[in-house]
A and B are shown apart, each in its own frame.
Chain A
Amino acid sequence: DAKTTQPTSMDCAEGRAANLPCNHSTISGNEYVYWYRQIHSQGPQYIIHGLKNNETNEMASLIITEDRKSSTLILPHATLRDTAVYYCMYGGATNKLIFGTGTLLAVQP
C-alpha cells in the first residue's frame, strides 16, 4: 500500500502561511499526489492534487520536488477555520487513496 510520512502536528499563526510537508519516496511515475483535510466530525475534503508541476487553486498551492519524493502544501493565509487534520496521499492501482495519520494543523489566533 502507498505510504507517506507527515509530521504529527504543526502550529501556525493566523494570517501567516502554513507549510505542510510530506514525504512519498515510493511514489510511481504516473501516480498523483493528493491532499485532503478533515475538520472535526466531517468527511475528508479535497484540497488539491498534482503530478509533476506545481499547482495552485483557490484553497492552496502544492509544491512537488523534482524527484517527486516529497511535496509541500501551502495555505497562504491561514485562518482559524483551517484548523484540521491534513492528509497527504497518492493513488494506488484501483484509484483508492490510502490515508496515513496526517498532520494536525492548529491555527493560533
Chain B
Amino acid sequence: GAGVSQSPRYKVAKRGQDVALRCDPISGHVSLFWYQQALGQGPEFLTYFQNEAQLDKSGLPSDRFFAERPEGSVSTLKIQRTQQEDSAVYLCASSLAVDRGNTEAFFGQGTRLTVV
C-alpha cells in the first residue's frame, strides 16, 4: 500500500523482554517520527529522523529506548528490558518535506505493546 506501515500490529511481551517495532514510511519521505500513546492520552513525541540522521531524541523516556533508521527508509524502535509502564501504542509517522513549518505528516496504524 501507499501508506505508513507498522509491524507487528500487536505485541505482548513479558516484563524484561526486549522488543523491536518496525516502521515502513511512505517511499521518498525524508522525515520520520515515533510517538508513544498511552491509553486515553494524546500521542507523545519520542524521536525524529531526517533521512538516516536522528536529529531529536529528546522524547525517549529512558536509555532502554533506542531508535534507528540506518538507510534513511525503514526505522526500528527497540525497547530493552520492557517494563509494564512501556505498555502503549507506538505510532510512526513520515513526511515528505524538510521545510520547518509546512509539513503534513502521515501516521501508521500503530503497534499496541502490552507488557505482562
Closest to B100 in A: A95
Set of chain A residues within 8 Å of B43, measured between Cβ atoms: 44, 99
Interface size on B, residues (CB 8 A): 29
Once bound together, how far apart are the Cα atoms of A42 and B104, in whole Å? 17
Set of chain B residues within 8 Å of A45, measured between Cβ atoms: 107
Residues of B contacting A: mostly: loop
* Chain A residues packing against B (C-beta within 8 Å): 30-32, 34, 36, 42-46, 49, 51, 85, 87, 91, 93-102
Closest to B92 in A: A43
Closest to A29 in B: B101
Closest to B108 in A: A43
Check B88 for interface membership: any CB of A closer than 8 A.
no
Check B109 for interface membership: any CB of A closer than 8 A.
yes
List which B1-38 residues lie within 8 A (CB) of chain A.
4, 31, 33, 35
Closest to B40 in A: A101
- Decide: B41 and A94 in contact? CB cutoff 8 A: no
Closest to A34 in B: B104
Once bound together, how far apart are the Cα atoms of A48 and B55, in whole Å? 26
Set of chain A residues within 8 Å of B35, measured between Cβ atoms: 99
Set of chain B residues within 8 Å of A31, measured between Cβ atoms: 101
